[in-house]
């Protein structure tokens, strides 16, 4: 793994500090470090950064600094490219973000040496169709919530699993 992408939740306390330290550490390991355009700009780092599509295509590993919500957001964009994600818990609990800032270099040393296990997760895809035309699509890890909009009305849901029809509600 040579090309490492960082995705940072700047709202998390200490995330910027950890990101800067991690960038320095990774560069000393001879790794190429990539960030998103807005994060590069917001952190005042050199370089232009990448948009999500280029970010996903150019990296071998994504390190997500944030909480489970940050990891879920990153997974939505990175999963189509098959990029493995390592979550660093910058929050309180961290069910999905298992590494901690205090042991990040130890954990990364193991990952970069190939000493890790991948935990494949199921991704869910939803689509909103109007008159048979797709007007909105969404990719998610774990769950998709269907709620009413401004006007409550009965909706019809068709469920497919791996492309096979499963059920219609109601």
CB-based burial label for 77 (10 Å; 0-12, 13-18, 19+): middle
Structure tokens at 56: 């996903």
Least confident segment among 22-31, 114-123, 141-150: 141-150
Domain assignment of residue 59, yes or no: yes
- Residue burial 85-117, b: 16+ Cβ < 10 Å; e: rest: bbbbbbbeebebbebebeebeebbeebbeeeee
- Tell me whether residue 68 is one of the annotated catalytic residues: yes
Is residue 19 over pLDDT 90? yes
Count: domains in the chain: 2
Residue-level pLDDT at 161 = 86
99 and 37 housed in the same domain? yes
Domain of 41 in residue numbering reads as 3-112
Q: How many residues does the chain have?
A: 170
101 and 130 housed in the same domain? no
Rounded to two decimals, the pTM is 0.83
What's the CATH number where 102 sits?
3.40.50.10330
94 and 14 housed in the same domain? yes
Domain assignment of residue 42, yes or no: yes
Instruction: Report pLDDT digits (tens) over 63-115.
Output: 999 988 899 999 999 999 999 999 999 977 778 877 888 999 999 999 999 99
Q: Regarding beta strands 3-8 and 32-35, do their DSSP bridges make them parallel or antiparallel, or are they unpaired?
A: parallel
Distances from the Cα of 10 to the Cα of 13, 32, 33, 98, angstroms: 7, 21, 17, 18
Determine the Cα–Cα distance for residues 3 and 7; give it in Å rounded to an integer.
Answer: 13
Domain assignment of residue 118, yes or no: no
Active-site choice (60, 68, 115, 120): 68
Kindly state the DSSP code that residue 74 receives in the 8-state scheme.
Answer: H
Kindly state the DSSP code that residue 47 receives in the 8-state scheme.
Answer: S
């Amino acid at each position: 793994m040579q090309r490492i992408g960082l995705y940072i939740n700047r709202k998390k306390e200490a995330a910027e500090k950890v990101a800067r330290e991690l960038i320095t550490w990774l560069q000393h390991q001879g790794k190429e470090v990539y960030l998103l355009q807005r994060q590069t700009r917001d952190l005042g780092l050199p370089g232009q950064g990448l948009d999500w599509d280029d970010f996903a295509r150019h990296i071998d590993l994504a390190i997500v600094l944030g909480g489970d919500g940050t990891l879920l957001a990153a997974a939505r964009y990175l999963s189509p490219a098959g990029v493995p994600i390592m979550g660093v818990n910058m929050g309180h609990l961290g069910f999905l973000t298992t590494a901690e800032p205090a042991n990040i270099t130890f954990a990364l040393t193991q990952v970069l040496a190939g000493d890790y296990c991948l935990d494949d997760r199921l991704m869910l895809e939803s689509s909103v169709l109007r008159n048979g035309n797709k007007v909105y699509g969404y990719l998610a890890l774990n769950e998709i919530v269907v709620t009413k909009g401004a006007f409550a009305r009965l909706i019809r849901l068709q469920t497919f699993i791996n492309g096979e029809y499963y059920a219609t509600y109601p």
